């Protein structure tokens, strides 16, 4: 099976802009999670979707949003970008139950 | 906020030596998982230990879990240069998310 894919891999945006990141899970996986990784805060959970429903959301401002489509692909959107949003954004999928998550290579977002 | 704390923050060892890192967490868990990350890339799952298990092995990896102390350890035996990476513990509760520790950076010297 193909692994988790994320697009784009690298992105440079300006403060105030918005950005959309995409994630395609492993075939058959219905759960998709998003994490933000920064040197200062480490790996922080953003949200988790299962069959198009958000089941949990991390402690992030409303500028961070996501959705999942019927084919399990997921997108996350960050509006009104701030410098502090510069990070590696990681997507992970699993089959829905507890257990290991399979991570994509990440999208490196730089906000200038 | 992060669930776990890892110790040490960094570790430098000679090839062939063993590496041990520890993880402590705060709340009850269903399972605890260890992941490896190379140079800011995606995380690779290493091993999962359930809350009712005390020890688990996978190749050169040995994980222990002490739920009474809310702690876990990861042992990598006979380390290789390719083991150079950051290692993260992550707890999985009944909340559809993983809570990660700060990670241990391991450097294996040739």
| Structure confidence at residue B25 (pLDDT) | 95
Q: Calculate mean pLDDT across residues B80-98.
A: 93
pLDDT at B93 over 60: yes
d(CA B85, CA B92): 22
Q: What is the pLDDT of residue B61?
A: 98
Among A67-71, B1-5, B56-60, B72-76, the least confident range: B1-5
Q: Quick one: closest CA in B to A96, which residue?
A: B96
pLDDT score recorded for residue A61: 97
Cβ(B88)–Cβ(B35) under 8 Å? Answer: yes
Which residues in chain B are closer than 8 Å to A106, comparing Cβ atoms? 40-42
Mean pLDDT of A15-41: 96
* C-alpha dihedral (A82, A84, A90, A96), degrees to nearest 10: -80
pLDDT in tens, B39-62: 878 899 999 999 999 999 999 999
Backbone φ and ψ of A77, nearest 5°: -125, 135
Q: Which residues pair with A47 in a beta bridge?
A: A34, A57
B20 has pLDDT over 80: yes
pLDDT at residue B3 in the model: 63
Burial class (CB in 10 A: 0-12, 13-18, 19+), A14: exposed
Mean pLDDT across A6-23? 98
Q: H or E stretch including A91? A: strand A87-94
Question: Hey, are the CB atoms on B45 and A102 less than 8 Å from each other?
Answer: yes
pLDDT value at residue A17: 98
Interface test with B, best of A23, A58, A98 (most B CBs within 10 A): A98
State both tokens at B101: 């520790």
Among the listed residues A59, A9, A55, A6, the one whose alpha carbon sits nearest the alpha carbon of residue A30: A55
Residue among B25, B8, B105 at smallest CA distance from B72 = B25
CB contact under 8 A, B97 and A100: no
Map residue B34 onto helix, strand or coil: strand
**Cβ contact A96:A25 at 8 Å:** no
Sequence-distant (6+) residues with CB within 8 A of A28 are A1, A95
Check pLDDT > 90 for residue B15: yes
pLDDT for res B1: 45
The mean per-residue pLDDT over the stretch B103-110 comes to 96
Distance CA A33, CA A54 (A): 10
**A55 neighbors A62 (Cβ within 8 angstroms):** no
CB A36 within 8 A of CB A84: no
């Amino acid at each position: 099976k193909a692994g988790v894919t994320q697009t784009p891999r690298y992105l440079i945006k300006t403060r105030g802009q918005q950005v959309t990141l995409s994630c395609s899970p492993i075939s058959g996986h219905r759960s998709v999670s998003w994490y933000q990784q920064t040197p200062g805060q480490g790996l922080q959970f953003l949200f988790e979707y299962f069959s198009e429903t958000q089941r949990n959301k991390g402690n992030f401002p409303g500028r961070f949003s996501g959705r999942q489509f019927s084919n399990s692909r997921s997108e996350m959107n960050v509006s009104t970008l701030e410098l502090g949003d510069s990070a590696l954004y990681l997507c992970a999928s699993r089959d829905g139950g507890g257990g290991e998550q399979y991570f994509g290579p990440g999208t490196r977002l730089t906000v200038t | 906020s992060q669930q776990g704390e890892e110790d040490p923050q960094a570790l430098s060892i000679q090839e062939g030596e063993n590496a041990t890192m520890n993880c402590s967490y705060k709340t009850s868990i269903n399972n605890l998982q260890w992941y490896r990350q190379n140079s800011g890339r995606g995380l690779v799952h290493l091993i999962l230990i359930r809350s009712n298990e005390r020890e688990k092995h996978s190749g050169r990896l040995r994980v222990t879990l002490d739920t009474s102390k809310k702690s876990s350890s990861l042992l990598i035996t006979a380390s290789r240069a390719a083991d150079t990476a950051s290692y993260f513990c992550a707890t999985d509760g009944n909340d559809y998310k993983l809570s990660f520790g700060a990670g241990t950076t391991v450097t294996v010297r040739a």
